[in-house]
Amino acid sequence: MPQATLEAIVHNPKYQQLVRSRAVLGGALSIVTLLIYFGFIGLIAYNPKFLGAPLADGLTTTIGIPIGVLVILSAFVLSGIYVARANTTYDRLIREIVEEAHK
Structural domain boundaries enclosing 57: 3-101
pLDDT, tens digit, for every residue of 78-93? 999 999 999 999 999 9
**What are the residues facing 54 on neighbouring strands?**
62
The residue among 82, 90, 69, 79 whose CA lies nearest residue 14 is: 90
Report how far residue 9's alpha carbon sits from residue 102's, in angstroms, rounded to the nearest whole number: 9
Confidence of residue 1 (pLDDT cuts 50, 70, 90): low
Band (10; pLDDT cuts 50, 70, 90): confident
Alpha carbons 72 and 103: distance in angstroms, whole number: 46
Give pLDDT tens digits for 23-77.
Answer: 999 999 999 999 999 999 999 999 999 999 999 888 889 999 999 999 999 999 9
pLDDT for the residue 101: 83
Total domain count for the chain?
A: 1
pTM to 2 decimal places: 0.83
4-11 average pLDDT score: 82
